[in-house]
Amino acid sequence: MNRILAIAALTLGLAACAAPQKVTSPARPAIPARSTTLSTKGLEAVLGKSARDLERMFGTPRLDVREFDARKLQFVGSACVLDAFLYPEGAGGAQVVTYIDARRSDGQSVDRAACVDALKK
């Protein structure tokens, strides 16, 4: 019995000697602040519009992706690829375009307003 108590006391004593290690994660590089914001100039024709409005303007979308209450429509032409993101206006409201992204088929960014103009029927 004394031997078990001695081993238990020794184990507790050794455990107390082990100081907890402070774990730090590697420092993240600072992200430079953007000095400019995305302009919505020239996007008035699409921002705030419904999916039906976009289909009248651009034709049938190549992609129609729905996730929960959000929707992404993708329209493609020879000049560019346009992604329109629709979200509901308020609780239970109709889905409208809140953001537009545009790129060339090789992935390079293009002016969003120019892409909208190029894709109009």
- Higher local confidence (pLDDT), 119 or 22: 119
pLDDT of res. 43: 85
- Residue 43 in contact with residue 99, Cβ under 8 Å? no
pLDDT of res. 36: 45
Q: What is the DSSP letter of 91?
A: T
Tokens of 36: 């400019």
Average pLDDT over residues 57-78: 92
pLDDT one-digit tens code per residue, 12-57: 665 555 555 554 544 444 444 444 455 667 788 899 999 999 999 9
pTM: predicted TM-score of the whole model, two decimal places: 0.64
